[in-house]
Amino acid sequence: MIVSEKPGARAAGRQIRTIFVSDVHLGCMHSRADEFLEFLKSHEPQSLYLVGDLIDGWKLRKKWRWPQSYNAIFDRVEELSDNGTEIFYTPGNHDKFLRDFGKSFGFVTLSDEFVHITADGRRFLIIHGDQFDKFETGAQWLSVLGSFAYDVLLTANTLFNRLLKRNDQTKFALSSAVKSRVKQLMRFISDYEQKLASHARQKLCEGIICGHIHAPNILDIDGINYCNTGDWVEHCSALIEYSDGEMEIVYFDQEIPAIQKQIFKTPSAELNALPHEYAEVELSGLLARFLKRCHPLRLIRR
């Protein structure tokens, strides 16, 4: 059963079994790395899925920024692994250089897709989702342009909210409000959610968990449970699976609500028919291991 997006709606008395997070965008000036680190330090799940775009290679190629908080995030992931948490990583379009690394690296299991079995026995396909974005696969220059426009909105939103704070007014998610309309059009054109639901059905899964569009959501698409984890740029959201198999989206910052949208239905198909100041610092132990083996960050900076 998929529960509502109300944070902490029925969490009392249950343990967190699995955490799914995506779109942290380390390297982007708008990444909420400190909040993400605090979130990771607050939980020790059985499994942690990093559902793409943890690292923003697009931004790092243009301007190298790697504050100490990024190292602390990787150190915390390694600490979780040492304490028994299984770590799974499915790269996205901003960190797709990781797709060339193979299936595993140390304690991190890498793959374009995973199948996760919930505590109540359901199969969920885990994928970032950029493979089903027509703008990303067919006209990437539009995707890059959209990413630039998104950054401009986020910067304007930050300045706007500083002004509101000065006047003791509530924060306003300008970029989220604009993006919800633009992204709805993009999803309508690319049939993003429907394609993901169809892909999950072809993989004989009851649901799909993805990221990519920065729109945290849980909905039903013709019997397929579609879950989008959201992001750690605007929403600071994650998808949580509890010990009884139920899921919900939780938010670190409750001042910014989830994007509300209509539930789309797909035709039925057979089951057998996807602003901080930065300083150069030494890389964490996990990233140092990556460098020694494959030099991924050098690939980013080319």
230-270 residue pLDDT tens: 999 988 999 999 999 999 999 996 544 444 333 333 333 33
Whole-number Cα distances in Å, 13 to 9, 43, 243, 261: 12, 15, 10, 31
Which two tokens mark 55? 């690292």
Residue 87: pLDDT band (50, 70, 90) is very high
Q: What percent of the chain has pLDDT over 90?
A: 46
Which two tokens mark 294? 């494959």
Instruction: Determine contact, residues 246/38, Cβ cutoff 8 Å.
Output: no
Q: Which amino acid is at 244?
A: D
Q: What pLDDT does 191 receive? A: 75
Q: What pLDDT does 204 receive? A: 97
CATH code assigned to 16-301: 3.60.21.10
Q: Is the pLDDT of residue 296 over 70?
A: no
Which two tokens mark 22? 């995506």
Q: What percent of the chain has pLDDT over 70?
A: 60
Helix axes 174-190, 192-202, angle to 10 degrees: 60
Q: Which residue has the higher pLDDT, 16 or 267?
A: 16
Residue 189: pLDDT band (50, 70, 90) is very low
Polymer length in residues for the chain? 302
Nearest one of 145, 18, 174, 146 to 85, comparing CA atoms: 18
Give the span between the Cα atoms of 139 and 160, in whole angstroms.
32
Q: Is the pLDDT of residue 162 over 80?
A: no
Nearest one of 73, 79, 22 to 45, comparing CA atoms: 79
Give the DSSP letter of residue 84. T
Q: Which residue has the higher pLDDT, 97 or 273?
A: 97
The sign of the dihedral angle between the CA atoms of 85, 72, 38, 214 is negative
Q: Is the pLDDT of residue 121 over 80?
A: yes
**Mean pLDDT computed over every residue of the chain:** 75
Residue 21: pLDDT band (50, 70, 90) is very high
Partnered with residue 238 across adjacent β-strands are 250
Q: Is the pLDDT of residue 175 over 90?
A: no
Residue 10: pLDDT band (50, 70, 90) is low
Per-residue pLDDT averaged across 71-97, rounded? Answer: 95
Residue 218: pLDDT band (50, 70, 90) is very high
Q: Is the pLDDT of residue 64 over 80?
A: yes
Q: Which residue has the higher pLDDT, 174 or 85?
A: 85
Q: Is the pLDDT of residue 44 over 70?
A: yes
Q: Are strands 47-50 and 217-221 parallel, antiparallel or unpaired?
A: unpaired
143-161 pLDDT, tens digit per residue, is 544 555 555 555 555 554 5
